[in-house]
Amino acid sequence: MKPAVAVFDLFGTLLDIASLRAVAAGVAADPDAFVALWREKQIAYSFAGTIMGLHEDFDALTGYALAYAAAKTGTSLDPAQTRRLNEAWHAVAAYPDAAPLLRALREGGLPCVVLTNGTPAGAAAALANAGIAELLDATLSVEAAGAYKPDPRVYALVTARYAIAPEQAVFVTSNGWDATGAAAFGMQVAWCNRGGAPAETFGPPPRWTVSSLDEVAALAAAEWSP
């Protein structure tokens, strides 16, 4: 069955968070470890905020996570460095396989949507700077739900927007926890496991596991045709 819409996570799926290392290199002794810790805490704060009912937007959580990463690693940041690092999230590069996939899906008549933890303004800036904004039909932010993924209210933004059942949406994400969250909601999920991470051991598994968005394009041609 051809899905009604293809939905994509943004950061880490279409956009390459590793490109933050170049900015972190100017301040952190180990840029790779610094960015990894920053990202880990950013996601942890989104989980914690949703569980506690203390919602703040993703830009705020990114700032809190940066302060934690700096303190944890003994990295001293002045206000200008802090601002430059936080703003770098709005200028991360797109993966080389992102634009070709989006273009192919849209040419095949499948709407492409981003569902992101990011703010509407932050996501819009990131997509524009990455050069792929025009390849998307809509960008949905968790701000409309007041909660973060993998809360079901976030995935419901898609089904409400398109008036569809969950199984009519294909969701593509690089995050294992996001893949299980969307699968639990009932979406057809393609986990883009770029780094060869082990599969999640809790929650429903994704329908497909691929290693790149190129494989998603092949999957679409083979299984998502009318």
CATH code, 86: 1.10.150.240
What is the model's pLDDT at position 225? Answer: 63
Mean pLDDT by 10 residues, the chain (226 residues): 93 95 92 96 98 97 98 96 96 96 94 97 97 97 98 98 97 98 98 95 97 93 75
Question: What confidence score (pLDDT) does residue 138 get?
Answer: 97
**Which of 9, 57, 151, 178 does the annotation list as catalytic?**
9
Domain that holds residue 106: 5-16+92-223
Q: Are residues 180 and 74 in the same domain?
A: no
195 Cβ partners below 8 Å, 6+ apart? none
Q: Is 57 a known active-site residue? A: no
Q: What is the pLDDT of residue 224?
A: 78
Predicted local distance difference test score (pLDDT) of residue 114: 98
Are residues 100 and 201 located together in one domain of the fold?
yes
Among 75, 90, 105, the domain boundary falls at: 90
Residues 78 and 96 in one domain: no
pLDDT number for residue 220: 87
Domains of the chain: total: 2
Task: Looking at the structure, tell me whether residues 205 and 99 fall in a common domain.
Answer: yes
How wide is the angle at C-alpha 181 spanned by C-alphas 148 and 92, nearest 5°?
A: 55
pTM of model > 0.85:
yes
* Coil, strand or helix at 137: coil
